[in-house]
Amino acid sequence: MSNVRSTGKKTSNTLVRDLVNVGVFAALYIVLGFMSSSIGYIPALIVFSTASIALVTSVPMFLFYSKIERPILCCMLFCGIFGGAMLVMGQSVIMFAISLAVGLLSGTILKIIGKNFAGLYMANIVLSLMSSSMMLPLWLYTEKYLEYTRGMCDEGYVAKLAELSNSIWPLVGIYTFGILGAVIGGLVARRIMKKHFERIGLAR
Amino acid sequence: MDVGLAGTLFVSTMMLVSHVMPISVIFYYVMTTTKVNEFMAGMSKMHIPNKVTIPLAVMIRFFPTVFDEARDIGNAMRMRGIRLFSLRTLKNPLAILEYRLIPLLVSLTKIGDELSVAATTRGLSPETRRSCIVKIGFHVQDVVVFVYCLAVVVLFCSWSVP
Amino acid sequence: MTITLKNVSFSYTESLDDAVIKNLNFEIKSGECVVLVGESGCGKTTISKLINGLIPLYQSGTMAGDVLLGDKNTADMTLAEISRHVDSVFQNPRSQFFNIDTDSEIAFGCENLGMDPEEIRERMNRVVKDFHIEHLAGRNIFHLSGGEKQKIACASVSAIDPEIFVLDEPSANLDLKTVADLAEIIKFWKSRGKTVIIVEHRIHYLRDIADRICYVKDGQIQDEWTPAELEAKGPEYAASLGLRCMNLEQLKNKAPELAEGPKRSKEPAKQSLKESLLFNNLHFAYNRKFLVLDIPELSLPRNQITAIIGHNGAGKSTLAQVLCGLRGTWRQKRKARKYGAYLIMQDVNHQLFTESVLDEILLGMNSQDENAALEILERLNLKDYASCHPMALSGGQKQRVAIGSGVSSGREIVVFDEPTSGLDYKQMLAVSATLQKLAASGKTLLVITHDPEFILNCCQSVIRMEHGKIAEQYLLQGNQEKLIDAMLNA
């Protein structure tokens, strides 16, 4: 038997596969994130919006993390694309910078800890920081952000936002609930991975 | 102005619509009129590497697909009698998430895998530089639009910073 | 450029013990048109992947032996290099296109290879002229039919102008007229001296095109014939190899299997409501002006299998969706919820939701009766798979799971959307048997299909649709020629 060897190794030939995965899951993340963040349009519930995003997107993200061959590149691209999309839609540059940092961190976690449950779980939690940071400008550049929303919605909503921005606690709440959403979402995702994807053969 | 819960909900819904609307419209316009190869060529002229443009291009191309598949799955769910507020789903709310997401994920990964194969076997590779049948570059029209946008931004900044 | 497989073995796992291809030696000369046939799982798709370089460069697994293109080993090349010489068209039209519009898609491969824009334009124009697809230029790919998408895929690879074309079941989801167009495209390539390798079950359209037909079994090429030789061996021999009918004209003389139908209803009675199911006012329009569906009255013979045929865009899918309550006015939908039909979709993955086959059947039931569910599984030969995950099953099994959930929903009418696309002969017979069982158990079946062999095997009557209207409805018995002609000339 002449030269038995394994095929399909990680080379430039398989790079497109990873890149396509980034594109597919980025599209899915944005659609799901957008829909599940709608809860945040009620100002009192704004604290929960990131929690719902993290919860719902945990499942596809677990699948994404388990499929990619190049964690650091793919995570950075994924988060960068998300941050870039937010930038284009009017969010601040700091959001883009945070996205890249989140991407780098989650990718590194995956690379170092590996693709076992611990790695996927932690990467998912780190990811929630990215969507939580969407509201950061309200606290960092309060006046400018209020001006920005005043152009889009009515006084009542802006007043409520201004109220929220007076104390740091709602911001802390947003991040905490985001992480909480990712924590619960991670457990749900693990159950679903075991129940479904591992039996189908989609997850490695 | 205190408008109470009902008022807040109403305002929030209106706000949802008015906030989502312009973004959706712009989104829709960009998605349906951007040609993927023009987009990629434009990006590479700006010296953004292929590794970035390929996922972006795939993402653009996949948005309609996500909606198509989700709609088909929603149809199948309706036929089975799985509805949002029936007794069955209220007993187990996470089940709705499962029913919605699992077939969608399976379907999308399958399409994604087949797409990568079809693209790779036609020579798509981040290492080689792509050409484009449409000439990308700055023309007079672009300069005019660019100057206009710049003017708007400058005016806006000078207006909001007292 | 000669393609040589030297002592090749391949397995999709990490060990060669479960190799799909074992010690294969195979050669394809330049300019040949080779068709690889065989039952599902025999390894013919794996061979096609060896030729276009997906193995060993993309697909994970274990391999021994070498594949040579000309005198170069594919393992020493990159897929981008290989794509200059070998290009592929796959079976699923919807997942092959990278771009949103047709022009960019046709130019895609050339752009990837960095060709000069002027040259790309020239090639594009040439391909569009050669394939007669002027009407497809400048359009949104999402709006095209499956057959049109497949033509764009062929145009895209043709623009690259490689020496070798690999086609993996290209006709699987196409209607007969589009298959004829596909045959023209392959003839065109052959006339240019290209090597074409086709993996197929349906080979009727390749009778005049193929140079040799290779039968693959257990990862080996067991037999080889010219089309004339294979046809001379008779239809039963071809069927025993899992092949579909080689000569459609022969089908015209073939008597339909189910001429009589179950003892209860002998003919589609128009009057008595017990004998047939009447639907009224099936009108549906996407916008005010253009009626997509215009059927004032539809009568379906009860407990029988009726086929719906018609070219793409005739309204067959819309009819199915309206009958099932997925489309239509609010009133139509509400009525369909009570009296309507259950749809078994073409992509069964869209209707499998749960983690076990048993749960899947129970999901559709109003009363969670496990015994009744197990009985349904028994009838569909799925009892052994009751605790398996539905998505882990084979295509045919998944289809039966979907049928099971349809049965458990209690609806009397079941509509099938292309149940036999991409299936070999034996699989088609299995589906036919399942449908017959279903009809005998009291259901009324409606099948949208492009598959004439299947219709002759299990349907009793035919409805032909055209532009949203019912053009004709007739019993199959005695009308085979009419059927085949209609399907070929749609």
Judging contacts by C-beta atoms under 8 Å, the chain B residues touching residue A24 are: 58-59, 62, 108-109, 111-112
CA distance C445 to C427: 19
Nearest alpha-carbon partner for B63 in A81, A188, A79, A128: A81
Test A1 with C64 for CB contact under 8 angstroms.
yes
Domain boundary assignment for chain A = 16-200
Q: Residue A16: which of B105, B106, B124 has the nearest Cβ?
A: B124
Angle at C53 between CA C221 and CA C12, to 5 degrees: 65
Side by side, the strands of the sheet bearing C305-309 are C341-344, C413-417, C444-448, C305-309, C461-466, C469-475
Q: Which whole number is the average pLDDT over A38-42?
A: 64
**Residue C445: C-alpha distances to residues C417, C450, C469 (Å):** 11, 16, 20
- Nearest by CB to C62, which of A4, A14, A196? A4
Residue A93 in contact with partner chain B when CB distance is under 8 A:
no
Q: Give this prediction's pTM.
A: 0.86
Distance CA A119, CA B36 (A): 35
C104 touches chain B (CB under 8 A): yes
pLDDT at position C46: 93
Let me know if residue B82 belongs to a domain.
yes
Q: Are C119 and C111 in contact (CB under 8 A)?
A: no
- Minimum CA–CA partner of C78 in chain A: A13
Does residue C54 contact residue B117 with C-beta atoms inside 8 Å?
yes
Name the nearest CA neighbour of A23 among C95, B66, B56: B56
How far out from the chain centre does Cα C453 lie? Answer: 13
Chain C (47-66) residues lying within 8 Å, Cβ to Cβ, of chain A: 55-66
Number of H-type helices and E-type strands within chain A: 10, 1
Averaged pLDDT for residues A134-155:
70
pLDDT at C248: 77
Q: For chain B, where are the E strands, in sequence order?
A: none
CB of A28 less than 8 A from some CB of B: yes
Asked if C44 and C166 count as a contact pair (C-beta separation under 8 A), the reply is no
- Is residue A64 a contact partner of residue A120, using CB atoms and an 8 Å limit? no
The answer to whether A37 and A53 are in contact (CB under 8 A) is yes
R_g of chain C, CA atoms, integer Å = 24
pLDDT tens, position by position, B100-153: 899 999 999 999 999 999 999 999 988 777 777 666 555 555 666 666 666 666
Rounded to the nearest angstrom, the minimum Cα separation between B22 and chain A is: 10
- Is the CB of residue C384 less than 8 Å away from at least one CB of chain A? no
Return the amino acid letter for B41.
A
ipTM of this predicted structure:
0.87
Cross-strand pairs, C341: C413
Residue B111: domain span: 34-137
Name the strand (E) or helix (H) holding B97. Answer: helix B93-120
Pairing between β-strand C469-475 and β-strand C461-466 as defined by DSSP bridges: antiparallel
Q: Which of B18, B51, B155 is the mutation pick for testing A, counting most A CBs within 10 A?
A: B51
**How far is the C-alpha of B97 from the C-alpha of A195, rounded, in Å?**
14
Residues of C in contact with B35 (CB under 8 A): 99-101, 104
Per-residue pLDDT of chain C (490 residues; tens, 9 = 90+): 899 999 999 999 888 888 899 999 999 999 999 999 988 888 899 999 999 999 899 998 999 999 999 989 998 999 999 999 999 999 898 899 998 889 989 999 898 888 888 999 999 999 999 999 999 988 889 888 888 999 999 999 999 999 999 999 998 888 888 899 999 999 999 999 999 999 998 888 998 999 999 999 888 999 999 988 888 888 888 888 878 877 777 777 766 666 444 433 333 333 333 346 667 667 776 655 567 777 777 888 888 899 999 887 777 888 888 888 887 777 777 777 777 788 999 888 999 998 889 888 888 777 778 888 888 888 888 888 888 899 988 888 899 999 988 888 888 889 999 998 888 888 889 899 989 988 888 888 999 998 888 998 889 889 998 888 888 888 888 888 888 888 887 5
Nearest Cβ partner for A27 among B23, B66, B105: B66
Give strand pairing partners of C225: C213
d(CA B93, CA B55): 33
d(CA C284, CA B66): 26
Inspect the interface and report whether the beta carbons of B133 and C116 lie closer than 8 Å.
Answer: no
Domain total for chain B? Answer: 1
- What letter represents residue A186's amino acid? G
A83-127 pLDDT per residue, tens: 887 777 666 778 888 899 999 999 999 989 888 888 899 999 999
Three-state helix/strand/coil letters over chain C: CCEEEEEEEEECCCCHHHCCEEEEEEEECCCCEEEEECCCCCCHHHHHHHHCCHHHHCCCEEEEEEEEECCEEHHHCCHHHHCCCEEEECCCHHHCCCCCEHHHHHHHHHHHCCCCHHHHHHHHHHHHHHHCCHHHCCCEHHHCCHHHHHHHHHHHHHHHCCCEEEEECCCCCCCHHHHHHHHHHHHHHHHCCCEEEEECCCCHHHCCCCCEEEEEECCEEEEEECHHHHHHCCHHHHHHCCCCCCCHHHHCCCCCCCCCCCCCCCCCCCCCCCCEEEEEEEEEECCCCCEEEEEEEEEEECCCEEEEECCCCCCHHHHHHHHHCCCCCHHHHHHHHHHCEEEECCCHHHHCCCCCHHHHHHHHCCCCCHHHHHHHHHHCCCHHHCCCCHHHCCHHHHHHHHHHHHHHCCCCEEEEECCCCCCCHHHHHHHHHHHHHHHHCCCEEEEECCCHHHHHHHCCEEEEEECCEEEEEEECCCCHHHHHHHHHCC
Residue whose token pair is 């009296």? C339
Q: Å from C99 to nearest chain B CA?
A: 6
Angle in degrees, 0-180, between the axes of helices A117-132 and A71-88, rounded to the nearest 10: 20
Bridging pattern class, strands C33-37 and C212-217 = parallel
SS3 of A5, please?
A: strand
**Calpha distance B18→A41 (Å, rounded):** 11
Of C63, C391, C392, the CB nearest to A5: C63
User: Which of B11, B51, B52 is closest, CB to CB, to A154?
Assistant: B11
Identify the structural domains of chain C with CATH numbers, from first to last: 3-248 (3.40.50.300), 276-340+411-488 (3.40.50.300)
Give the per-residue pLDDT at B162. Answer: 47
What pLDDT score was predicted for residue C240?
83
Show the tokens assigned to A38. Answer: 């709608």
Paired tokens of A163: 């109220």
B149 touches chain A (CB under 8 A): no
Report chain B's terminal Cα–Cα distance, integer Å: 27
Cα separation of C253 and C268, whole Å? 23
Task: Give the residue among C164, C161, C168, C166 at the shortest CA–CA distance from C194.
Answer: C164
Q: With both helix axes pointing from N to C terminus, report the angle between C102-112 and C117-131 in degrees, rounded to the nearest 10.
A: 130
Is position B154 within any domain?
Answer: no
Compute how many other C-beta atoms are within 10 angstroms of the C-beta atom of residue A149: 16
- DSSP letter at A194 equals I
Confidence at residue C440, expressed as pLDDT on a 0 to 100 scale: 87
B19 within a domain of the structure (yes/no): no
**Which of B56, B66, B119 is nearest residue A31 as measured by Cβ atoms?**
B66
On whether any CB of chain C is under 8 Å from the CB of B160, the answer is: no
Burial C362-381 (b: 16+ CB within 10 A, else e): bbbbeeeeeeebbebbebbe
CA distances from C255 to C241, C252, C334, C450, C456 (A): 22, 8, 41, 18, 7
Residues A129-145, buried b or exposed e (16+ Cβ, 10 A)? bbbbbbbbbbbeeeeeb
Q: What is the pLDDT of residues B71-108, one digit of tens each?
A: 999 888 888 877 665 666 666 777 788 888 999 999 99
Inter-chain touch B122–C343, beta carbons under 8 Å: no
